Structure 1
């Protein structure tokens, strides 16, 4: 068997002390995640996070910095994820844009709202990315080099 980690991107967006999350249904369970998804062949990581945010929320995303790169292993499946989390801002939401299958819709939640319901977060990555963002962890986007 060939080991292949899933490379994903995620957007962390804060406005008025609330964070943009996506309410979604995954394997019959409603949960919250950052706008996030898989990095597709042929695209850059920044292109991927812009695309995923738009597809899952209808908001155009402008990445401003890299928060971190996270290695997470699913506790119940033989899956490894490598997540690139980006901080940035969003523009006006396109209310007419259809959202990805399984997406219930975007939600704006404060950190305390997320902390009281950790079991509703899709993974431990959701809170960790927000906590690192609030701690001021930022790297310039030019740390990512595409040759």
Structure 2
């Protein structure tokens, strides 16, 4: 039996009142890349709570998840790592004053969809664009589909 396990992650597509998307710039494998606020699920944490935490830690924004955009399985082409990501649609509620961001975050950016498309060579993975495309196609599933059992 294999000891293989996917990385269980969440990502947040937060949108402001002008329709701009909240993204982070971070260094990965020697490149400065763009990504949605995202990260790993922690022990005893719900997926929704993980999304809220990751957005806060990486951007300094408080967000309110409203829907699930989709569930995505992606295998990194240069490694054996597989990611199982739940992507959330959320509203950016407020910036947290003096929030300390995770050390790997270089900058927090609000980008239009056009600006994000123009920056495609800097996307951390294909998940960045796929999640936005699915959101724009109307993909929104109720948070109630997520059930945490005791």
TM-score, structure 2 as length reference: 0.94
State the distance in 2 between where 1:31 and 1:110 align. 16
2:124 is aligned with 1:122:
yes
Residue of structure 1 equivalent to 2:82: 80
Asked whether the 8 Å contact 1:10–1:36 carries over to 2, the reply is yes
- Post-superposition CA distance 1:56-93 (Å, at most 9, x none): 00001111000000010101011000000000112221
Residue of structure 2 equivalent to 1:97: 99
Residue of structure 2 equivalent to 1:14: 15
User: Residues 1-147 of structure 1 correspond to what in structure 2 (within 5 A)?
Assistant: 1-15=2-16, 16-147=18-149
Asked whether the 8 Å contact 2:63–2:94 carries over to 1, the reply is no
State the distance in 2 between where 1:44 and 1:14 align. 22
State the distance in 1 between where 2:119 and 2:45 align. 34
- Post-superposition CA distance 1:33-77 (Å, at most 9, x none): 000000011100001000000000000111100000001010101
Kindly report structure 1 stretches of 4+ aligned residues shifted beyond 4 Å. Answer: none
TM-score, structure 1 as length reference: 0.96
State the distance in 1 between where 2:101 and 2:145 align. 31
What is the deviation of 1:17?
A: 2.9
